[in-house]
Amino acid sequence: MKYEKVKPPEEGERIEYKDGKLIVPDNPIIPYFEGDGIGKDVVPAALKVLDAAAEKIGKEVVWFKVYAGEDAYKLYGTYLPEDTLNAIREFRVALKGPLTTPVGGGYRSLNVTIRQTLDLYANVRPVFYIKGVPSPLKNPEVVDLVIFRENTEDVYAGIEWPKGSEEAKKVIKFLAEEFGIRIREDSGIGLKPISEFATKRLVRLAIKYAIENNRRSVTLVHKGNIMKYTEGAFRDWGYEVAKEEFGDKVITEEELWNNYNGELPKGKILINDRIADNMFQQILTRTAEYDVLAMPNLNGDYMSDAAAALVGGLGIAPGSNIGDGMGVFEPVHGSAPKYAGQNKANPTAEILSGALMFEYIGWKKASELIKKALEMTISQGIVTYDIHRHVGGKLVGTREFAEAVVENLQSI
């Protein structure tokens, strides 16, 4: 692979992908970029924790710094250079910081571009409680969800045209002449594609995850009562892949009650579905009943942020973008530019995103160590401002929090 302005490290080895499995050396080269805003604070802090966890299990990450966002624009004249995409392609796994996305005009979301360009079709966001973090729930410890959000289609496909544009006028005219559909002339136009292919590969991944991790259920979340041929189809195709490819492993809600009196048999996974707006209140009122959730892109965006609020907010919410043999790991929160460079931001989401990355490459012990160390640190009352303002304790900065996590990790 050729690079224009960066050079891969001479030490370290590449992660390979053969026969549907990652082959991970003890010293993998992993690209990373800090991104925008507080990325400059939280990513270096996370690297310290990740290095300590890797060393604890006898491994080493050889980091390869690449660029995206404002730093990339200064260096390359573009916000997302080919060097960065090529590094992810070559080394297969990457850690990223938050990237700023302009609202309204400006350039298109770099996060979406990375996902679509590299076909990282599943945005996987686990949501779980860390002891000591303030939560609006009385019993936040019951929250243990994993959200599988389709990452390439839906309204995020970016197929849209502004009001008054020639494209919008043509679409409005075409719909009127061919189908008798009347749309106001001053409308912006957008399309919402949801395909059988993309739906089935997402649901397939969610069910495989549930099987491999001894989960109880996979819930298809949709708005199929209104959007029957997109989100309704997502529901139908989800059930199809469950029955056709995992028929011996799953049972439907109807079968659960008709054949098993509501008691899930051992070794089976429940496949069910919920309307999206109802699901928002279900994760509040019946939280413990849900496990793995699979849904289209926009629903997944809303739902994962709402779920994160149950356990303390986006500041501690990790995320991952998974394709076939490739993964990019990122915090759910944004770039928060007003806090950039202040050594103030909570690095927990970035650290946990790295823990997810370790799980993905098979370093589960390192991931478990990170989670334990984070919980120990917060339980000791060592917290950044976002948690301190709710529960008090010892207020520390981004770097100091990471150092405390490392100290606890080394003591485990």
CATH number of the domain encompassing residue 285 = 3.40.718.10
321 has binding-site annotation:
no
- Nearest 10 degrees: Cα torsion 292, 298, 299, 300: 20
Q: Tell me which of 261, 283, 310 is where a domain ends.
A: 310
* Residue 184 sits in the same domain as residue 253: no
* Residue 204 sits in the same domain as residue 184: no
335 has binding-site annotation:
yes
Q: How far apart are CA 337 and CA 219, in angstroms?
A: 36
- The one catalytic residue in 59, 223, 344, 386 is 223
Q: What is the pLDDT of residues 45-70, one digit of tens each?
A: 999 999 999 999 999 999 999 999 99
186 has binding-site annotation:
no
108 has binding-site annotation:
no
- Identify whether 301 is a catalytic site residue: yes
Q: Tell me which of 292, 310, 328 is where a domain ends.
A: 310
Q: How far is CA 386 from the centre of its chain?
A: 22
* Residue 7 sits in the same domain as residue 115: yes
Q: Tell me which of 291, 310, 329 is where a domain ends.
A: 310
Q: What is the pLDDT of residues 133-157, one digit of tens each?
A: 999 888 999 999 999 999 999 998 8
**Residue 289: Cβ-neighbour burial (10 angstroms; 0-12, 13-18, 19+):** middle
- Mean pLDDT estimate for the chain: 94
Q: How far is CA 136 from the centre of its chain?
A: 22
How many domains does the chain contain in total?
3
* Residue 238 sits in the same domain as residue 301: yes
- Identify whether 223 is a catalytic site residue: yes
- Identify whether 156 is a catalytic site residue: yes
131 has binding-site annotation:
no
- The one catalytic residue in 236, 277, 291, 305 is 277
91 and 31 Cβ atoms separated by less than 8 Å: yes
Is 0.85 surpassed by the pTM of this model? yes
* Residue 144 sits in the same domain as residue 286: yes
CA distances from 109 to 65, 99, 104, 157, 382 (A): 21, 8, 11, 11, 35
Residue-range definition of the domain harbouring residue 230 = 136-150+194-310
pLDDT under 50: residue ranges of the chain: 103-107
Q: How far apart are CA 256 and CA 246, in angstroms?
A: 16
* Residue 370 sits in the same domain as residue 224: no
